[in-house]
Amino acid sequence: MKTKLSPKKLAAAITGLLVLWMLTGIVSGKEAPKSDTAAKAEKPLFPVRAVRLEAQKITRTSFVNARTEADRSVTLRAEVTGQVVAIGAERGARVAEGDLIVSVEARDRASRVAEAKATLREREMELESTKALAAKGLAAQSQLASAESAAESARAALTSAELDFARSSIRAPFDGVLVERSAEAGDLLSPGGEVAVVADLDPIVVAGWMTEKEIAGIRPGTEATAKLSDGREISGTITYMSPQADPVTRMYKVELRAPNADYSIRSGLTAVLAVPHEKVMASLVSPASVLLSDGGVVGLLLADEEGVTRFCPVEIAQSAPEGFWVTGVPEKTILVTLGKDFVRPGQKVKLVFEDATTNANR
């Protein structure tokens, strides 16, 4: 038997359901925001490694690949034709200015010198006799002029013969070392033929090439150093800066000169030239900490004490074995070193310092 609800009971049931539905909506509408807020509050910050940076005053220095060179070098060539009859110095030997390198057979030249001397003596005697006669009125002025001219020609002939004789001996033009000697005893030389190479290694020259940015501010007389391939470090002075760039590389040649009295520094050694610039405030960072922005700007990811990050453009002042010295950062700051690739500038992070267990934004 079916039971029928009265109209009053049916209305009361519908009213109760409506009230229950409204209460459910109110409760769910108020509790949901609380749940979202709690979830946001409990969401952990992304942890990153960080270090505290403190800028230091350094001397900005350009390090340039360089090579040692002789201060001057000359190729000696034969000036006369003849056979080599004597060797004055061996390759690698130290020579002083005027030392004999090789001697060319000069017997004919020696006889020509003797003949020219005899002729000069004869012409001078004739000149003296003509002068005596002219003083007594027994010789015309034309005779005196002719005798003077003959004596002058004899002197010139003697000078030429002596010069030709001197050219048979090839000598060192300055103090240095005999780098190469291509002539041996018995060789037949002709004018223009290469005989030897003499180089001056004191001072030694360290030459390198610098960019237009590196060479700016450097002046001749600047004190600099160079580290040689064998580990030795030498000090010297910048004496030459090319006034014009190489047309191909667009770089400028720079030369340092350093004492080398014992010739222990050879020409052709590889070196690194260190040229100082001005003093700047810079911070030392690892190359791995350097970032490149979307716009191609070099910079670092820094953070404040609350852990809020920001991108800071920097300029690399110079490279060092320990890393990069950079300018453009505050004198004291926090650098994000690990995890920076997963953080956006402006994002708040959890700082975990490499030298401490506490973080700065707790």
Contact call for residues 309 and 302 (beta carbons, < 8 A): yes
**Range 234-262 average pLDDT:** 95
pLDDT of residue 286: 92
Residue 150: alpha-carbon gap to chain centroid: 63
pLDDT of residue 251: 95
pLDDT of residue 272: 95
User: Quick one: 93 and 186 in the same domain?
Assistant: yes
% of the chain at pLDDT higher than 70: 85
Query: Considering the chain, what is the average pLDDT of its residues?
Result: 84
Output the CA angle 249-318-242, nearest 5 degrees. 35
User: Quick one: 98 and 177 in the same domain?
Assistant: yes
pLDDT of residue 70: 96
Contacts 24+ apart (CB under 8 A), 319-325: 319/63, 320/284, 322/284, 323/284, 323/285, 323/286, 323/287, 324/284, 324/285, 324/286, 324/287, 324/290, 325/58, 325/60, 325/282, 325/283, 325/284
**Which CATH number fits the domain that encloses residue 226?**
2.40.30.170
The residue segments making up the domain with residue 219 are 63-71+201-279
**What HEC string does 11-22 produce?**
HHHHHHHHHHHH
Q: Which of 231, 254, 279 delimits the end of a domain?
A: 279
Establish if 312 belongs to a structural domain: yes
Report pLDDT digits (tens) over 86-131: 899 999 999 999 999 998 887 776 677 777 788 888 888 888 888 8
Report pLDDT digits (tens) over 196-232: 999 999 999 999 999 998 898 889 999 999 999 999 9
User: Quick one: 223 and 257 in the same domain?
Assistant: yes
User: Quick one: 154 and 94 in the same domain?
Assistant: no
Q: How many domains does the chain have?
A: 4
Report pLDDT digits (tens) over 8-65: 565 566 666 655 655 555 444 444 454 555 555 557 899 999 999 999 999 888 889 9
Report pLDDT digits (tens) over 15-29: 666 556 555 554 444
Report pLDDT digits (tens) over 257-289: 999 999 999 999 999 999 998 889 999 999 999
Q: Which residues contact 44 (CB under 8 A, 6 or more apart)?
A: 350
Establish if 157 belongs to a structural domain: yes
User: Quick one: 192 and 340 in the same domain?
Assistant: no
User: Quick one: 238 and 284 in the same domain?
Assistant: no
pLDDT of residue 11: 59
Q: What is the DSSP letter of 308?
A: B
pLDDT of residue 246: 93
Paired residues of 57 in beta bridges: 281
Report pLDDT digits (tens) over 150-203: 888 888 887 777 777 777 889 999 999 999 998 888 888 888 899 999 999 999
Report pLDDT digits (tens) over 309-355: 999 999 988 888 889 999 999 999 999 999 988 999 999 999 999 76
pLDDT of residue 16: 63
**Range 59-85 average pLDDT:** 91
pLDDT of residue 357: 37
